[in-house]
Each structure stands twice: as C-alpha cells, then as structure tokens.
Structure 1
Amino acid sequence: MRLKPARAFAKGGLQGLFLACSSLVASNAAAVGTRTFDLDTLDEFSGGDLKGVAVSSDGGVRAGFNVGNVPLTDASSSFSALALGDGSVLVGTGPSGKVFKVTGDRAALFADTGALAVTAMIEVRGTIYAASMPDGKIFKLSQGKAEPWVTLPNASHVWALAADARGAIFAATGPEGRVYRIEPSGANSVYFRSDEPHIVSLALGEAGELYAGSSGKGILYKIAGPGRAVVLYDFSGEEVKAIAVGKKGTLYAIANDYGEPPEPPKRSPAGARSPAGPTSAKPVRPGKGALWRFDATGRPEKMMAHTEFHYMSLATDAEGRPYVGTGAEGRVYTVDDAHTVTLVADTDDRQIGALAFGKSTTYLAGSDPATVHRVVAQGGSEAVWTSKVLDAGLRARFGHLSWHASGPLEFSTRTGNTSSPDPTWSGWSAGTSAPTTVTSPAARFIQVRARWSRDPKAVLSEVMLPFVTENVRPVVLEVEARPKNASKSESKESIPASGSEPPKHDSVLKVTWRVDNPDNDSLRYRLNFRREGQGVWRDALRDGEILTKSEYEWETTALPEGKYRLRVEASDEPANPPDLVQRHALESGPVLVDNTPPVVRDLTMTGRRLKVRVVDGLGPIARVEMAVDGKPEFRTLGASDGVFDTADESVDVDVTSIVPPGSHIVAVRAYDAAGNYTVREIESR
C-alpha cells in the first residue's frame, strides 16, 4: 500500500511584523505490511530544507535561489529594503530605526534615525528618503547621517512611500488613514483622506495613478487626483499589506485576513532603544494571506493563497513577475499566469519583511534576528533538497529508494529515533545516482536528500521509499457488555431510579472492547464465554464467522441464567506471516445473563392494604408498581424495607389514595434488574 504522509503545507501586516510561527507535522499512516512514502506534490516536497532549489505546485523540484546570509548587528526585524544602482541594498530595521547598507556579503551601518523602525525607503533624483514610526517623520539619508526632513501632522506612523515623475513623494500614514503629498521643498498637504485607520501600502501606476491599500477593512483604492478616489477592491480580510506594479498595466496586491484588524506596534515602556522593542496591545497571531492580480481594466484574479500564515512583503522583478515574502517560516513564493505556485527560497528566518530587486542582484530581508539574504546564483552545485522528517510511526526497515527525474541526481538518506535530527541520528549515507536499497539503519524517522551536482537543469518529480515497521502486539484494554438498546452509561445490573422509565429487557447483549494497536495492523478478534465458576471457555461466534470489528451482538436466549465472563482475543494475523503474529486477550468482569421474569407470590388485598412478595432467580428486584382497572398509568410502590436490592422483596402499603372505593381490578407488575417482568391481578372490594 502506498502511504501519503500528513501534509504540512497548504496553498494559501501590521500584526505580522513581530510574529513567530513554526510547523511540524508527522505522518499518520494506517496500513499493513509494506508501506511507501510517496512524495510528488508541492505539499510533500516542502517542509524540509531547501537550499538553492525551488518547489512548484506542479510537483517539480528544480534549481532555485541560492542565497547567502548577512546578519545585521543590533537589529531584530527587517521592515524595508531599497536596491541601489551599485548593486548594494539598504535595509530599514527595528527596534532602533537603523539603516544598514549591504554590499556583497558585508553589512555596515548607513544611518541611524533614532526612530522605532524604518518602515519604507525610496530614492528620488539621487536622494534617499526614509519613513519611520511612531513619530510621523521622514528622513533624508546619506552615508552616516539621517536628517529629519518632514514631520507629517496628525500622523504617527508612516507606512509606505511612492514618488511621481515630478519628484513629489506620497506618504501612507496612520492612525487617521491619510495619504500626504510632499513637494521637493518639504511642503506637504493631505492628498487623500480615507475612513480607514491606516493606509499601509502605496504604488504608482504606469499612467501616474496612485494605488493605496488600507488596514482596517482591507480596501484597495485607486486615486486619480487630490481627493478623487474609487475603491478598486474590498478584500475579505483586514489589511492590504503591499502593492506592486507589473507589466502591461497589471497590479499586484497582497491581502491578509486576521479575523480582526491588526494593531500597529508601539514603543515599549523602556523607550525606543529597549531590547524589548515594539509591543502590541493585543497578542500577535498568524493570519491568512492571498496574492491578487488586477489587469489594466481593474478585473481581479486571486493568484495564490495560504491559510496557515499571512504575507509580509511583495515585489516584482524585471519581467513583472510577483514575489511574496511570508509572515512565517521565512519563505519566498512566486506564481505564474497558469497559477503554478513556486517556493523559490526557504530561509531560517521567522519572516521575510522586505524584498528588493536590483538591476543585477536580488535581496531578501528576514527577521529574528535581522538578516539579509543575497541571491548569489540560480541553483548550481550547491542546490540541495532535503525532505521533511518522514515518520514511519514505529521503528522500520527501509527498502528500495527510487525516484523520477528529468536528469541525474545524487541521493542519500539518514535515520534516527527523534522527531528532529540530532547527534543520535545516523550520518548521511553515501550518495547514489541510481535507485538502490537504503543502507541507513532501521529507525522510526528518515530523511531523503537530493543534490543537483551533476545536472543543474534536472527536475525531480517523485520520490518513493517503501518501508516495513516492526510488528507490535495489539493489546485489549477493556471489555464491556450491556443490553443492545442500552446506552453506554447504563449497566446491565443497574437499578432504575424511582419514577424513571421501567427497564427494558433484551436477550441480546452488545459486547464492545477497546484495543491499543500501535502499528495500525488489521486485526481479527475471537470472542469466548464461560459461566462463572466453570473453567471451560466456549466460542461465542457462529461457525465460520470471522470478526474484525471491535463489537459484537451476543444472543443469550439459549443460555441458562447466571453470571458469565467474556474473553476477547485480538490477533494481527491478517497483516503478518504466521511466525510474526502477535496476540493478546482480556477477560471482562461478571456479565449477568437473565432472561427469566420474577415470580409474584403471596399477593393479597385486605381493604385498601396491598401486600405482595416478589422473588427472582438472580435478582435483584428493580421495581414494583400497580395500575387500576386496566388504565395504563402504573404507580410505583416502595419496598417494605425501603430499598429494592435483593432477589426477594416484599411490599406492604396502604393504597387508599390510589384505589377508589368500590370493586376494582388491581394489576401488580414487578421487574428484575435485567428488565424481565411479570404481571398479577387481584380484585379489591
């Protein structure tokens, strides 16, 4: 049987700026004999370690971004990135508002704004401008210097910047949801005023139109001029995190759904330089992200979505293709016109806060701690795909590893008994370019690794790995028996409460049992019974009957009344050869078989005083009641000693309040605990 492990991947803000999220999913296979890990989808190829490879929703693994790592000192989060003409990149960070310049594999402090975070940067006619929060300031940046340029009125957060052909800068702000226009002189005015608390994203279209995205109700605006705006789209979520312009008049936007509007970060009580950094009034939680495309006429099309995390960053490359950085797991995705989703980079960062495409270099800016990843190559000899940890459930022997690929690849494996690889795991096996039997030792967990060292253009489309787990004995944990129509909470020998429905007899007992079956083998059950005090076990099943369900309806009509015990044996023989079969059996507690009604004796009626004695072979007597003149209203009578608890009970009661004067037929009905009953009559005078 082929096994599909449980999936860790699903096709698919302000709040996400400081989100931490992780995911680990193990397989939950249920099968017998040989099973197979079969990896052939984006879900299954993702979740492991991807270095220099890309995974697409068409089920292929191919050469992808090969990135370097440049840590940024004294910064925990990356908020913005700006690619410069010399191939370097500026990265705006928090929680201390520093801007770093990354050239190659080296980072240096470029400017210190003293703000909480540098949320956006733009270069206009050779001058670099940086937006900040929470003081509503925009800075002019130069090497080693951050000069305050504009402080926008009624704005504490400046989220995004855009510039038109004349050099005017637009600034998206909060908490009053305004877009400002700032002239090169620094003079500023409100260009657009929304009903939203924050405008968090901006982009300038090819025809000079301005697009703005809000946080609150998640609205995308198209602004044609001062105060002149239309709603291009109202998203189902709360935030339009980023906007980017594509080719031929297309527009991309990422929208996030958190369930409620996110709250912007603010300074900690200790101040901007506190290690505690930004805090939020409400706990941060992951959202759901979606990438939308709008054509030149404004028609929307959802291109990609993830339900397990939101999106943090968006940028388009020189070809107009969109790239999205995630708010969890530090990944970068792209999608083409056919909606083929490709995971192009999988970093160790918590999130990708910014993306920057320069003329010759691409940069990814991550968080916790702030790190810049420079795309140094597309695939190459360092391209390596490592599967997620595959869980066989129990210690297993692994068989013949095989795969489908368009070119030669080199495979190796390693195994261990912990869910995350640690020093107790085996080393990686020697690489092989031909399908072969796994040489890694038997273990519960395994990883598979593929290298693109021989053919950078090879595409891996499927990996297959059979395995057989060690056979583990099934253990019967509990055996119960109750009348067929009784609820699980009702006991066969329970005495019904006074005033409740009378017990109902059923000669069929429903026998149920619970079994611990660690390796999920198919099981066969055998059911036997013996009378209490006897040593011989007898078969409760019909001739030739094979029982595979953990329940059985046992007909007891032909059995003498008395106490019995049941024994259930669980065997995994359907899934294993005879020499490996494992068995376990468990006995039930005493089970009452009683199909004989009680006997009414000494029934007398003297005046209005009723006396009756009821005797049962097993007991106890559960209920005695009476009715008058055939009316179906039975009245409960009490035991002489106050409690019905034995097989021999008497009733002695004055029934004047029940039986009116004159001649009447009094019917007495008595039940035992098994629901058997008998009725006797007497005439009152």
Structure 2
Amino acid sequence: MNGNLIPMRHAPRHLRTLACRKTRLRLNTLAVFLTLTLCAIHAIGGGTQYWQLQGQAAYLRGDPDGLSISREGRLMLAPALVPIFDTGQAFIWSSVADRKGNIYLGTGHEGKVFRVDPQGRGTLVLDTEELDVTALAVDEEGNVYVGTSPQGKVYRVTPQGSSSVFFDPEDTYIWSLALHRDTLFVGTGAKGRIYRVDRTGRGQVLVDTKETNIMALLVDPTGAVIAGTDPGGLILKLTPEGRAFALYDSPVREIHDLQLAPDGTIYALGLSERETRSSPAPSSSPSPPPVTAVSSTGSVTVTITSFDLTPSAAPIEPEAQNANAVLYRLRPSGEVEALWNAPSFSAFCMILDDSGNALVGTNDKGRIYAVDPRGNATLLVQTSEAQISRFVRSDTGLFVATSNLGKLFRLGPEWATRGVYESPVFDARFIAQWGTITWQSQVGHVEIQTRTGNTETPDETWSEWSPPIPNGGKVLSPPARFIQFRLTLTTDRAMSGTPRPNARPQIEGVRIAYLPQNVKPVISSLEILPSGVALQEVPQQPVDPGILSSGLDPAIFGVSANVPPRRVYQRGARSFQWTANDPNGDQLVYSLFYRAVTEGQWRALVRDLTQTFYTLDTETLPDGWYVFRLVASDLPSNAPERALEAERLTEPILIDNTPPAIRATAPRLAGRRAEVTFAATDATSNIARAEVSLDGGRWQQLLPDDGIADSLEETFTVRAEFQTPGEHAITVRVFDLQGNVGSHKVTLLIP
C-alpha cells in the first residue's frame, strides 16, 4: 500500500464522496442542472392561473442566502453566518475547542492542523507527514491529540507548540478520539479496534469489534464509551472493563457521528449508500422528486411538490432503506426512533443546540438543518461552500467547519440583517401575460423582483431583474414562457441590532398570477365504426353540481369522465368516436357537422357535446355519400374572444339504408330439376353476397353468375333437383355492402 494514499475501498463514505467531488472539481466537470417543468394536470384551465411555492420542499428548489426555510415554507432571516478563517485547504475533517476558546482544525489532503484564536487569527500548529487529520481531542491542560490517516498515528501538541508521536498502533486509520479524565480512547480502521491509552502514551486494545471502522466515539458521565461503526452500522456501549453491548444494530452502513444529550439520550447520525444488508445500492444520482399540480376555486394553482425532509418518527427499516442519511434518537429507556432522514443527499456531522434541536450539516449546497424533538426540520442556513464537515462549540459561540473549501464560520447567535432568496425557474408551458405578485405574513422589509425569458436556464437572453414590486403589484417583466423571482428580506430600521424573537423578519405565501397563451385543442383521432354499431353511455356516478360550478376537475374527486361507452347493435347506426385534448388543460365541447359530397354547405348534426362519441341514426338522411366535420372548442374555459377551435374531417362515408331489389325469371323445369335466375340491383351500394334456401332449409352461399359480387347489379342462377313431386320454394336473399338485405321467393310445382 502506498503510504501517501488512502485506499478508497476501505474508506468510509464521507471520504469517498469528497474525494470523488474533488476530482470532479479539478476537472471542471461538476455541473448540476435542475429543471422544473410544472404543468396544470388534472385541472380545468383557461382563466387566470397561479404559480405558488408551498411548503419547504418547494422552496428548497431555489437558493436561499441568509434565510431559513421552515417546514411550512416560511422564509425567515437565518442566524448570521460570519466567516472567521480560511485554511486554504480543500477539506476540514475534524475540529475541537480548548478551554481558552481556541479552535483546532484538522485538514486534508495535506495533513495540517490549524489553531484559530478567539479573535479569529489562524496559525499552523502542526504539519504532519500524513494525508489527512481525521480526529482531534483536547485535554484539560490544553494538549491537543491529533489522529491521522493513512499511517494511523496519534500526535500530541502541547500548549507550547511542541509535537510528537503520542500513540502509534498497528492500524491504518485513526477515525475518532475521545477523552475521559486521563484516558484517551482511540477508534481505528481498517481493523475496527478501540484502544485505551493512558497519559504516557501506553495503549491497549479495549475491544476488537470485528467491524472495519470505528467512526465515532463519545464518553458518557459514567465513563462508558459509546461507539459508532462501519460497515455494520452498530451503536456500541463499552464498559470500562471492555465489555461491548450493542445498543442498536441500525439498517444503515455507517454510524458517522454521535452526540449525548444532558438527559442521557444518544443522537446518532447514520450514513448509507443504500447498501444496507437487505437491499443493493442503486444509482448514485437520485431521481428528482415528483412535480404535481392542483386546482383552486375558479382558477388553477400550480404548486411545486417534492420529497419531505421532515417525516414524523416512523419504522426505521423502510426509512433507512430510502435515505442517504438518517438521524436516530436512542432514549435511555432503550427506545429507538428514526427522527429525520435525507433521501437525496448526505449529512456528515451534527451537534445539539441549547433548545434541544439537532443541527445537521449536509453536502446539499452546504446546508444546515435544525431538527426539533418532533422530527420537524428547518433549513437553518445555506453556506457558500459545498459541504458542512464539522460543528464545534467554544466559549465564544457555535462554529461551523466546511469542505470544498475548508473554512471556519461562526453561526449566530444574532440574526442576519439581510437575506436573499432566488426562486426556481417556473415554466408556464406557453408564452404568458404576468399579473400581480402577492405574499402573506410579512415581518420586516421585503423587496421582490422578477425576470423572464424563453429558455429553461436564465442566460443573457432573459430580461434584466425588474424594479422592486410592492405586495399586490403587477409583475413588470415582459411576457415569456419562464419566470423567476428574487426576494430580499431585511430588518426594519426600528429593528436594528439583535431582533426580538417575536419580531424575526419573515415572509411566506409568494404567489404570481399569469394568463398563458391559449393554444387550440388537438383532435388526435376520429374513428367511424362499422354500420350497425351504436354507442351507449355507461351509467356513471352523478357529478355534484357544486363541483361543476367550482371550475374544478371532477377527476380530483374521483369522478372519472373517461368511461368508454358500451357497444350495441342498432340497425342503420353509424357511430363516431374520437380522442382530443387541450394543451392548456381547458374543458372541451364538441360539435358534429355534415354535408353531401356534392354540396358545399355544412349542416349541424349536434352541438356542444361533452362526451367523445356520437351515434347517428342514418335513416334520417337520404342515401348517398357524406363528409362529416368534428369541431372541438375550448369555449367553456375561455372568454369568447380567446376561445379556439380545432376540426377534423372524415373521409366520404356512404349512407345506404335501402335493401337490394330482386327480380326472378320464370322457373325452367326439366323433370325434377329446376333452374331460376335472380337479378339483384342496388342504387347505392355494391352487392356483397347472396344466400339461397330450398323449402325453408339451411341457408347456403350463392355465387353470382360472373363469379364475384362487386357491382351494383348481379345475377344469380339457382339450379336445384327435388326428390319429391309437388309444390316447392326457392328463396334467395341478397346483402349489400352496408348490410341491407333484400329477399325474393319463387314457388314452383314439380310434376
């Protein structure tokens, strides 16, 4: 093994993830494109429509800067995120604070340790020969213990700045360190051992877990060691005698971080590549959450929906199998619950705040979520860096360490004085006229601007950001297919300084009205069924008149309008069946017109049908060739001046309800043999076939004299031999192409 490289096959997930990300950054190929295509499906359109972001998941599609997003979708000024120190390194793997307020940062991939004093001044205190500093701990005397990888050494840095190797086990990685009085506990990989090291540096194996990596360690007030493992995802409790007890065997691959609450509750952050013991790993690129649209009274409200970041406590196995990161809570009673999970991104660190919330740092645009005891998550703040690596608390406050790039920030306690939110791009699907923009529950000062364009991604072809628009004001951007808004939230002048808790600036319920270009309906198909096939409407659940008057799609209430009709036989029936849709989602009505092929004027057959079929009783029309015209109109959903129509013509259709006429010659007798010729004629349709019956017997096919029935006139000759003398009957029936049938009977006497 090369001493300067960490074999990725043994490394825990956070190292593999960041190593791959660093490679992509170096190649300049890291690009994320998220397309939001929202359509008013299952809704009756035509009038004013609305785009409204509802709920946290919808707002998370945009980019907040200095803003928190509650589960309900409320935008609030976030805790101030103040840059403190830039390490100049790609990653910060570990952090710890001493009693004087100094913060130590362990970095990669150059294996350096920096000390940041309470004034924010940073100093390099140790430059190891290792690749990464993956664990830090500090004792009461100010000695800093530095765990490194991949050589697996522990260094000690004294308050005076001298350093030396303190403990050098056989293991490859030092993943975690924890101090209790004069004892240092060391969690290692790739052998999964926990060492107990005294203050002189002499160590012994406390327990060999048979796991690969010990990713997290903490010591409770009784001196018991709590450990998180990889790849078994175990949470272990070790007695001072080295006896291990599994508190929980989680379904995830790795327990990456541990925190202990004052009441003894353990919070554990589990990571999974969906490589649980019960399911294989899927693709590393999760699918975008679904997008739906719902209708509001009198118009259409298009709403972004997405995955729920804040599920209530639920059975653990299903939650973990569909998540990349899971936050577990283990109560002193032994009860375990999955408090929160992240289905499409990962989380690598956490800390408990003074209110009992768990702050979780993620690789989702460097976002920090605050998970309350009920499992409700608020996006607390989004940083400028790619990933939150560690939290560290000192006497001067709460600090956040990031990776890509490795920087240190102070989080709060004051609110930011200004926050900006840039929405996702909304697709109206057609060129739209923009109406008013409104919002609710405003506290503080709000400015909203918009810009529009006709490309999915904003570029130089889009309009400039508009001037600020007041609540209820008209959008000033030009008509276009796509729109985006930018919201700026600031404190009022009277709220300068640290805002009162009940006066935290916030806003929710941003909504933009628009009127999309009306597009004419589309008739996809028009089918004419064979003659004699009639269509009957199948009885359905009656629609509540209140639903119809509301403008809502009955399908929302489970009432289906697409039940196919029943087919029955009806003499002379010709049925039309079609499919049509409206790109705007408008309600359609249909009209059917006809004309003879020799005429130029259309005549109305039926108007304003709502069903997509019609049966014509052709006996009401003279025989002949006709053309039919189907017209689909979106008038029910549009003002007359905006309504549009589409039409489709049939091929010429023959209507013929007159049966063939049949004449017969006088019988020609020769003993008991008889011969009769029948002449059949039809004014409109070709003769199709004929049948003959002797003395009321079985019908038999009768061929025409020329061998093929293919014209308006055909002759058929019947030759029969009768076995007995007396009166006999020859009956012939003739069919035309439209199914009309004529018959003729000849009676003869055999001597």
Equivalent residues of 1:211, 1:220 under 8 A apart: yes
Write out aligned runs for 1:237-252 (5 A): 237-252=252-267
Pair 1:158-2:220 in alignment: no
From 373, 388, 391, the equivalent of 1:337 is: 373
Match in the other structure for 1:470: 516
Match in the other structure for 2:107: 93
Pair 1:212-2:223 in alignment: no
- State the distance in 1 between where 2:593 and 2:625 align: 14
Pair 1:56-2:56 in alignment: no
Q: 1:389-445 CA deviation, whole Å, 9 max, x = no partner?
A: 444343434333333336332222121214444454445444567653443444430
From 516, 522, 526, the equivalent of 2:587 is: 522
Paired residue secondary structure (1:449): strand
Paired residue secondary structure (1:170): strand
Write out aligned runs for 1:220-369 (5 A): 220-260=235-275, 284=284, 287-318=323-354, 320-369=356-405
- State the distance in 1 between where 2:476 and 2:236 align: 60
Equivalent residues of 1:40, 1:60 under 8 A apart: no
Q: 1:440-484 CA deviation, whole Å, 9 max, x = no partner?
A: 444430314132220443353533434122323224263231649
Equivalent residues of 1:72, 1:100 under 8 A apart: no
> 1:315, CA displacement in angstroms?
1.6
Give the residue type in structure 2 aligned to 1:134.
P
Match in the other structure for 2:94: 80
Distance 1:245 1:26, change over 3 A: farther
- State the distance in 2 between where 1:539 and 1:145 align: 100
Distance 1:289 1:61, change over 3 A: same
Pair 1:547-2:563 in alignment: no
> 1:169, CA displacement in angstroms?
2.2
Paired residue secondary structure (2:641): helix
> 1:220, CA displacement in angstroms?
1.8
Distance 1:349 1:597, change over 3 A: farther
- State the distance in 1 between where 2:711 and 2:412 align: 88
Paired residue secondary structure (2:586): coil
> 1:200, CA displacement in angstroms?
2.0
> 1:348, CA displacement in angstroms?
3.9
- State the distance in 2 between where 1:229 and 1:599 align: 103
- State the distance in 2 between where 1:599 and 1:136 align: 106
Write out aligned runs for 1:657-668 (5 A): none
After superposition, the CA RMSD in angstroms is: 5.0
Equivalent residues of 1:563, 1:593 under 8 A apart: yes
Paired residue secondary structure (1:131): strand
- State the distance in 2 between where 1:644 and 1:81 align: 96
- State the distance in 1 between where 2:71 and 2:402 align: 24
From 644, 656, 659, the equivalent of 1:582 is: 644
TM-score (norm 1): 0.71
Match in the other structure for 1:573: 635
Give the residue type in structure 1 aligned to 2:586.
D
Give the residue type in structure 1 aligned to 2:331.
D
Q: Which protein is richer in helix relative to its size? A: 2
Match in the other structure for 1:439: 476
> 1:249, CA displacement in angstroms?
1.2
Equivalent residues of 2:97, 2:138 under 8 A apart: no
Give the residue type in structure 2 aligned to 1:343.
L
Paired residue secondary structure (1:37): strand
Give the residue type in structure 1 aligned to 2:257.
A
- State the distance in 1 between where 2:103 and 2:234 align: 31
Q: Unpaired runs of 5+ in structure 1?
A: 1-12, 263-280, 487-503, 601-613, 625-629, 632-642, 650-668, 680-685
> 1:171, CA displacement in angstroms?
1.3
Q: Unpaired runs of 5+ in structure 2?
A: 1-12, 22-29, 287-322, 534-567, 663-679, 692-696, 699-707, 715-732, 744-751
> 1:331, CA displacement in angstroms?
0.8
Write out aligned runs for 1:280-679 (5 A): 284=284, 287-318=323-354, 320-375=356-411, 378-405=414-441, 407-417=443-453, 418-431=455-468, 435-443=472-480, 444-454=482-492, 455=495, 456=499, 457-476=503-522, 478-481=524-527, 483=529, 509=575, 511-515=577-581, 517=583, 519-529=584-594, 535-539=600-604, 541=606, 546-548=608-610, 551-555=612-616, 558=619, 566-587=628-649
From 27, 32, 43, the equivalent of 2:38 is: 27
Give the residue type in structure 2 aligned to 1:221.
L
Match in the other structure for 1:43: 57
Match in the other structure for 2:192: 177
Distance 1:620 1:168, change over 3 A: farther
Q: Is the radius of gyration larger for structure 1 or structure 2? A: 2
Distance 1:441 1:615, change over 3 A: same
Equivalent residues of 2:46, 2:518 under 8 A apart: no
Distance 1:589 1:336, change over 3 A: same
Match in the other structure for 1:197: 212
Q: Which moved more, 1:226-235 or 1:456-465?
A: 456-465
Paired residue secondary structure (2:636): helix
Q: 1:484-514 CA deviation, whole Å, 9 max, x = no partner?
A: 999xxxxxxxxxxxxxxxxx98956462334
Equivalent residues of 1:91, 1:101 under 8 A apart: yes
Give the residue type in structure 1 aligned to 2:206.
Y
Distance 1:184 1:677, change over 3 A: farther
Paired residue secondary structure (1:584): strand
TM-score (norm 2): 0.66
Equivalent residues of 1:410, 1:432 under 8 A apart: no
- State the distance in 1 between where 2:738 and 2:161 align: 91
Q: 1:617-673 CA deviation, whole Å, 9 max, x = no partner?
A: 879989x9xxxxx99xxxxxxxxxxx9999999xxxxxxxxxxxxxxxxxxx99999
Q: 1:168-206 CA deviation, whole Å, 9 max, x = no partner?
A: 2231433x3332333333333332233433332222223
Equivalent residues of 1:204, 1:211 under 8 A apart: yes
Paired residue secondary structure (1:237): coil
Q: 1:332-352 CA deviation, whole Å, 9 max, x = no partner?
A: 011223443221111243332
> 1:244, CA displacement in angstroms?
1.0
- State the distance in 1 between where 2:271 and 2:196 align: 27
Equivalent residues of 2:447, 2:470 under 8 A apart: yes
> 1:536, CA displacement in angstroms?
4.4
> 1:591, CA displacement in angstroms?
6.9
Distance 1:561 1:344, change over 3 A: farther
Q: 1:259-296 CA deviation, whole Å, 9 max, x = no partner?
A: 2159xxxxxxxxxxxxxxxxxx9975564322222223
Give the number of equivalent residue pairs.
598
Equivalent residues of 2:687, 2:709 under 8 A apart: yes
